Amino acid sequence: VSEGSMFVSRALEKILAEKEAKRPPHGQLRRACQVALGESGRADPPGWEEGTVAPPKANFIEADKYFLPFELACQSKSPRIVSTSLDCLQKLIAYGHITGNAPDSGAPGKRLIDRIVDTICNCFQGPQTDEGVQLQIIKALLTAVTSPYIEIHEGTVLQTVRTCYNIYLASKNLINQTTAKATLTQMLNVIFTRMENQSFQLYFSFSPLVAEEKQVTEMAKALPAVETADTILSGSSSENIQTNGIPDDGQSVSSTDNLVNNFTGSDISGHQAAAKFSHVLQKDAFLVFRSLCKLSMKPLGDGPPDPKSHELRSKIVSLQLLLSVLQNAGPVFRTHEMFINAIKQYLCVALSKNGVSSVPDVFELSIAIFLTLLSNFKTHLKMQIEVFFKEIFLNILETSSSSFEHKWMVIQTLTRICADAQCVVDIYVNYDCDLNAANIFERLVNDLSKIAQGRSGHELGMTPLQELSLRKKGLECLVSILKCMVEWSKDLYVNPNHQTSLGTYKPSEQEIAEGKCLDSGGRRSSVSSLDSTVSSGVGSVGTQTAVPDDPEQFEVIKQQKEIIEHGIELFNKKPKRGIQYLQEQGMLGSTAEDIAQFLHQEERLCSTQAGEFLGEGSKFNKEVMYAYVDQLDFCGKDFVSALRIFLEGFRLPGEAQKIDRLMEKFAARYIECNQRQTLFASADTAYVLAYSIIMLTTDLHSPQVKNKMTKEQYIKMNRGINDSKDLPVEYLSTIYEEIEGKKIAMKETKEYAITTKCSKPSVANEKQRRLLYNLEMEQMAKTAKALMEAVSHAKAPFTSATHLDHVRPMFKLVWTPLLAAYSVGLQNCDDTEVASLCLEGIRCAIRIACIFGMQLERDAYVQALARFSLLTASSSITEMKQKNIDTIKTLITVAHTDVFMQLHCSLKICRTLFF
């Protein structure tokens, strides 16, 4: 008798010996145990031994017979019997005595192992489940996932993870909670490692890439589990598993937070239809990852969250697990299109909400996940990273009411980002040198400069110690940025042969041929050759989005961007001046169609000014307005939806005549696009109705209006507008209800842009500040979420910077706010750490200016040093302090190490020191 039979016999005998098993309700269990004991005495259970391949059908039934007593034992609800059964199943799986490859006679298309795992999971019946049984379930499921002898996939894998997840949330035993959480981490590690190893082994099995691609293709064809994204995300049968465990009481995770959700096909559209999995292990990992992303998106309840609540604990553990997965991500995960799209459409949208959470743990985890994404996935997430910086990080720094804790965590994160030279240069190249992106680098330095100078510290309600800590961190970030620039351009400093009169370096043809070009070496942030090869199978996006690094081209784009930004600034004050300036600079066409397109596409235009411009009565303004409306497509849209589209791009002017012109053109365009409609007798009907909807929106949603219009009054108001006839009452009622539920407004992003530009309300006390901050954070999250969803399917080219020449325009862009921060720090603060940081920053700035021959910038920083050395007549400070002595030392160091080659500057320093 084998070891497997011995496990079975002992477990069955132990079950039969239990008092509970002898009671009448368990008669079927007793009989099943006795039959199995009689059979197990003869031979090993057929179909249970490792290596059993396609046994005859009779053996499948017998295999079911041997599993039946354990299935019934698990359903007995007797903790001792259940524990014995689970312990035996765990041992049989662990030692390879169960393979479970035999088909499940009770469920066509399923295997016996799926039924076994399902039985184990069903032993968990919510918080009331015996604590010992909970541990046995965790142990058995971990064995099922990690065992090399069995294979479970798709829905069964999800079920194991979900059950452990539910045990973690529902168990009242701290040891069980800790064990379940550790088990979840281990399960995920195994699932994702197996996926990576499978691709790794495939790579080494076939050295020629052609053979590898052929193998991947053949495997994809052979596996029935391979599906397209649309199939998976439309709720495939493998995912439709009934939730077990915690009852649906509104506080549980069973129905809301379970890991198997039925998603509609609209969750991911046809953008991914072509992406496929080359192996079922990739699909397993994808399903688990996507489910965790969905869990992290679950909203918390209103009011202060309870740390022990299911909702908060679920969110925190899902974020922790996601962070673990991302930090350990291999080449397949980092490059496969399905995983990249899941990050864009689920994880990034979740981060847009969690990134402004008032719960410190959630906020901190979100930041950690963002840092990991920035480190490992930035080439795929250009637009998402922009949203996170622009709408969350920088807004928190700029918002006067934001808490010290949030500012501190953000600036701690920025300290890490600013210490990475590749990341700093990439931010400048990909955002500040992109016509359609925000100036992240410039805005970041300006915000840090304000913090380093201690501006607006008191209105935050910070203590002096907190303000000093924040100032130091701001200075540390600014110094790190300059250190990155020095590091990036160090080759020009080290090797004098690379110096030219302009500070630029162009390698000779011979150097390029010999591979000595410094610009192309050591600075590329890309996947290794193995990573890119392993992930080059089906569905990999690899480095498709990478674009070449051309410093001259980026500098041209940056100049064009500055012209456009100045034109927009002028437009937002006086539209005609802005348009004229852009036309003079050759950045905008002269036709009405060109200007109309500009108004549609440029999000940074002031919506109020755009509305005033479109409503003007001059001939040219009317032409632009007509072109603007004609560029909108209302075909097939219902009337209210079309009106929303029309009014989301600008704010309606206040003058009735201007509104009249806009509504008249809108009505004509709507009828033109929907000529087959029979509801409106003419464009006049649409015009009057559009006007009435605007009035209704104002009436129902304006706080100034006390007595709101009723539905009956609205219907009465619109009588006889359809060529002296009435529009259907049901139609007008529907319009009223829709406007009542949601007002007609501009895009959320534009609404927020306007509210943030309004004058800052005065904050009388800490309570008011917190209330205001919560409102601002809520709006911030709403805007970030809308933007993140808008770019969830977008692909934007990302450049991994390699050239040294980027440092010159970077420094030219930010040298003034940097100098202001260092000067104010030296002048107003006697703290030795602040002085040390300021002097280090000035020294780095002088080195960059010298490397690139930037005389104006170099002289400004040298003069600042000279002024604070107290050795010049212009110095307003009279008492010599330690910081002034340190300044003199820095001046001497700079003269010795940086400006010895700059004769003019050296003479200045000599005069300062000796005269």
- 3-state secondary structure labels for all residues of 353-372: HHCCCCCHHHHHHHHHHHHH
What are the backbone dihedrals phi and psi of residue 276, each rounded to the nearest 5 degrees, phi first? Answer: -130, 165
Task: Measure the CA–CA gap between 574 and 838, rounded to whole angstroms.
Answer: 41
Task: Measure the CA–CA gap between 347 and 373, rounded to whole angstroms.
Answer: 10
3-state helix, strand, coil in the chain (%, to 5): 65, 0, 35
Nearest residue to 112 via CA among 97, 121, 100:
100
Task: Measure the CA–CA gap between 458 and 463, rounded to whole angstroms.
Answer: 8
Q: How many CA atoms lie within 13 A of 796 on its CB side?
A: 21
Task: Measure the CA–CA gap between 679 and 803, rounded to whole angstroms.
Answer: 63
Give the tokens for residue 522. Answer: 């050591």
The catalytic residue positions are 655
What single-letter DSSP state applies at residue 239?
T
Strand boundaries in 486-629, DSSP class E = none
Nearest residue to 818 via CA among 426, 409, 453, 414:
453
Query: Could you give the angle at which helices 656-673 and 683-701 cross, rounded to 10 degrees?
Result: 130
Task: Measure the CA–CA gap between 260 and 270, rounded to whole angstroms.
Answer: 22
DSSP characters for 61-78? HHHHHHHHHHHHHHTS--
Helices (H), 154-268: 155-170, 174-205, 209-222, 229-233
Are 617 and 660 within 8 A, CB to CB?
A: no
**What are the contacts of 79-85 at 24+ separation with CB within 8 A?**
79/130, 79/132, 79/133, 80/18, 80/20, 81/15, 81/18, 81/20, 81/21, 81/29, 82/123, 82/130, 82/133, 82/136, 83/130, 83/132, 83/133, 83/136, 84/11, 84/14, 84/15, 84/18, 85/11, 85/15
Task: Measure the CA–CA gap between 718 and 690, rounded to whole angstroms.
Answer: 11
Strand boundaries in 236-379, DSSP class E = none
